[in-house]
């Protein structure tokens, strides 16, 4: 929910922040991805995660509880991807 009680809708092409590690894919909470598909009116999302040069790291289906929208208070942080 948004700050004023409104529901925030995540749409295709929105950037989202991962809230939980997805260790099988080498993803960590805080990683930023792009929604490429929305399932069942937002119950789950197909999210693409990329390196900063545009190389796809993973495309994963995640339940809504695993992501949130980016906010104007977020700042990008770099971490080196560890090959799995």
Q: For residue range 15-40, list pLDDT tens digits in order.
A: 999 999 999 999 999 999 999 999 99
Residue range 41-64: mean pLDDT, rounded: 96
A 10 A CB-CB count for 47 gives: 26
Residues with Cβ within 8 Å of residue 13, at least 6 apart in sequence: 34, 35, 36
pLDDT at res. 19: 97
Q: Which domains does the chain have, with CATH numbers?
A: 15-69 (2.30.30.40)
> Would you say residue 82 has pLDDT above 90?
no
pLDDT at res. 3: 46
pLDDT at res. 84: 57
What's the mean pLDDT when you consider all of the chain? Answer: 90
> Would you say residue 8 has pLDDT above 50?
yes
């Amino acid at each position: 929910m948004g700050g004023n009680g409104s529901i925030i809708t995540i749409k295709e092409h929105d950037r989202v922040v991962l809230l939980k590690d997805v260790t099988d894919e080498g993803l960590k909470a805080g990683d930023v991805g792009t929604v490429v598909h929305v399932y069942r009116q937002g119950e789950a999302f197909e999210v693409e995660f990329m390196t900063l040069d545009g190389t796809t790291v993973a495309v994963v289906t995640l339940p809504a509880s695993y992501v949130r929208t980016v906010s104007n208070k977020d700042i990008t942080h770099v971490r080196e991807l560890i090959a799995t």
